[in-house]
Structure 1
Amino acid sequence: MDLPRLHVLLVCNLGASTGIMVAKMREIAKNSQSLANTDVKIDARPAGELREYVADYDVVLIGPQIKHLYENLKKICDEHNKPIGIIDTQDYGMVNGGNILKQAIRLVLTHRP
């Protein structure tokens, strides 16, 4: 995969459950041969802090529990030309870090000029 960098920001309400997801995604990325040569960074922050951190990331994924904030968060991402997506409720509930990591990669690859 031709992806030199993948910096993912998960945005949620407070960060507790998303912290578990970050750990799972980091573990999967670390063990992924297709990401072996990619600079991977995955963090979680509260939605209210997005403006402070968005510039440091390649893609933003928001937790399904705050999908009602999508339009406001998308405006911030658009200002910084960053793709944004909503994490699938089932993937989030099952802590399916692999699917969520794939979602982040797809968003980055389809957002490229």
Structure 2
Amino acid sequence: MNIDRLYILLVCNLGASTGVMVTKMKEIAVKSEKLKNVDIRIEAHPAGEIQEYIEDFDVIMVGPQIKHKFAELKKLADEVEKPIQVIDTQDYGTVNGGNILKDAIIMKLESAEK
């Protein structure tokens, strides 16, 4: 993997349920042999605060509970050329931090190719 840094911003309604996801994703990242040399930062913040944080992160992932705000959030992400996507509902519901982390890595790699 050709990334040395992966800063993931999870955007949600209030931050509570997504905070659990952050913890799970961090646990997986720490145990991953492939990610041991990657500087990883994962945080969750409410959608209303996205402009305060967006420039500090490499990828933006939106909680499925606020996918109705995606167009508005995508406009902000596009302005600073950050990849953004809605987290898979099933992965979110089952707290599958591994799949969500994998999606974030793919987003980062694809954005680096552009």
Normalised to the residue count of structure 1, the TM-score between the two structures is 0.98
Residue 61 of structure 2: aligned partner: 61
1:89 Cα deviation after fit: 0.5
What is the identity, as a one-letter code, of the residue corresponding to 1:110? E
1:111 Cα deviation after fit: 1.0
1:66 Cα deviation after fit: 0.3
Residue 105 of structure 1: aligned partner: 105
CA distance in 2, matches of 1:75, 1:48: 14
Residue 36 of structure 2: aligned partner: 36
For residues 54-78 of structure 1, the C-alpha deviation after alignment (integer angstroms, 9 at most, x for no partner) is: 0000000000000000000001101
Q: How many equivalent pairs are there?
A: 113
CA distance in 1, matches of 2:71, 2:65: 14
Residue 86 of structure 1: aligned partner: 86
Q: Which structure 1 residue ranges, 5 or more long, are not aligned?
A: none
In structure 1, the residue corresponding to 2:81 is in which secondary structure?
Answer: coil
1:22 Cα deviation after fit: 0.1
What is the identity, as a one-letter code, of the residue corresponding to 1:2? N
What is the identity, as a one-letter code, of the residue corresponding to 1:85? Q
CA distance in 2, matches of 1:59, 1:23: 17
What is the identity, as a one-letter code, of the residue corresponding to 1:45? H
Counting aligned pairs with the same residue, the percent is 60
Q: Which structure 2 residue ranges, 5 or more long, are not aligned?
A: none
Structure 1 ranges of 4+ moved more than 3 A: none
CA distance in 1, matches of 2:42, 2:28: 11
The alignment yields a C-alpha RMSD, in angstroms, of 0.5
What is the identity, as a one-letter code, of the residue corresponding to 2:30? K
Residue 23 of structure 1: aligned partner: 23
1:33 Cα deviation after fit: 0.7
